[in-house]
Amino acid sequence: MFKLKLTALGHPNPESFNCEDEKEYRSVVLWLEDQKIRHYKIEDREGLRNIDADSWKEAYDLYQKDLVSPVSDGSPNEQLNWLLSYAVRLEFADNVTKYKDAKIEQPKQAAPNVVSSNPLDNLNFSSPAFVNGVERVCALTGVGPHIDPKLRLAAVAKILKTSPHPDCPRTEVSVVQQPADVLKLLFIQDLRDLQTKINEALVAVQSVTADPRTDTSLGRVGR
């Protein structure tokens, strides 16, 4: 947690920081004030500097109030998160010109990443392969011609949603059938996993509720 922000601020060991540890938490707060935020004069930082003292908590609360932190009533994690963000903001404001260039670089990196994760976003809708594919699916579903292949694809989607799937002609069977079969098998595998989890949950509940009893004195054989 907080690794990115601590790294950005140049904290000596952002990897190993554990925000659950009270002592580490306090020292990071002190480090932020000493190195980055510098809201108090050096002599006024005494309260925060007494990391081991019980009075530190009070000093911290006061510190947050002085900074007008909006999350001063929140959990320690939220409080620290805000402090870190605040420090980052100050750091940025100090060196606007330096960071402005870096900013443009980052989205450039991120953009191709998003696209490559979903191949469908990469489709070239005007490529001959796409147009041919749409042509074939349209022939199977009986969708008429239109200049825009995207519009025809939308029509196919509508048909598949509203009416039962049309039978495909013999010659196309393996083209459509094989991928469909693979999808079905993968689906069944997922379903089995889900059912197994459901059964495990039921058994877990049974260990609490189950108490099967019989009472043979109640039994009576009929005529």
Partner 1 sequence: MVVRNYNEELKYLEKINPYCWRIKKGFQPNMNVEGVFYVNNTLEKLMLDELRNSCRPGMTGGFLPGVKQIANVAALPGIVGRSVGLPDVHSGYGFAIGNMAAFDMSNPKSIVSPGGVGFDINCGVRLLRTNLHEKDVQPIKEQLAQSLFDHIPVGVGSKGIIPMNARDMEEALEMGMDWSLREGYVWAEDKEHCEEYGRMLNADPSKVSLRAKKRGLPQLGTLGAGNHYAEIQVVDEIYDKYAASKMGLERTGQVVVMIHSGSRGFGHQVATDALVQMEKAMKRDQIEVNDRQLACARINSVEGQDYLKAMAAAANFAWVNRSSMTFLTRQAFAKQFKMAPDDLDMHVIYDVSHNIAKIEEHVVDGKVKTLLVHRKGSTRAFPPHHPLIPVDYQLTGQPVLIGGSMGTCSYVLTGTHQGMTETFGTTCHGAGRALSRAKSRRNLDYKDVLTKLENMGISIRVASPKLVMEEAPESYKNVTDVVNTCHAAGISKKTVKLRPIAVIKG
> Which parts of this chain interact with partner 1 (CB under 8 A)?
163-164, 184, 188, 191-192, 195, 198-200, 202-203, 205-206, 209-216, 218-223
Q: Based on CB atoms, which residue is closest to partner 1, 107 or 212?
A: 212
Task: State the minimum distance, in angstroms, from the CB of residue 136 to partner 1.
Answer: 23
Query: Rounded to whole angstroms, how far apart are CA atoms 65 and 39?
Result: 12
- Would you call 89 exposed, middle or buried from its count of C-beta atoms within 10 A (0-12, 13-18, 19+)? exposed
Q: How far apart are the first and last CA of the chain?
A: 74
Residue closer to partner 1 (CB basis): 53 or 203: 203
Tokens for 139, please give them.
């022939």
What contacts 52, CB < 8 A, 6 or more positions away?
23
Nearest distance, CB of residue 180 and partner 1, angstroms? 10
3-class SS at 70?
coil
Q: Encoding tokens for residue 179?
A: 């991928």
Residue 173 or 203 having the CB closest to partner 1: 203
The position carrying tokens 């694809």 is 153
Q: Which is nearer to partner 1, 100 or 184 (CB)?
A: 184
Q: How far is the CB of 169 from partner 1 (least distance, A)?
A: 18
Nearer to partner 1, 154 or 205 (CB): 205
Name the minimum Å distance from CB 217 to partner 1: 8
Dist CA 130 CA 184 (whole Å): 24
Q: For the CB of residue 135, give the shortest distance to partner 1 in the complex, in Å.
A: 24
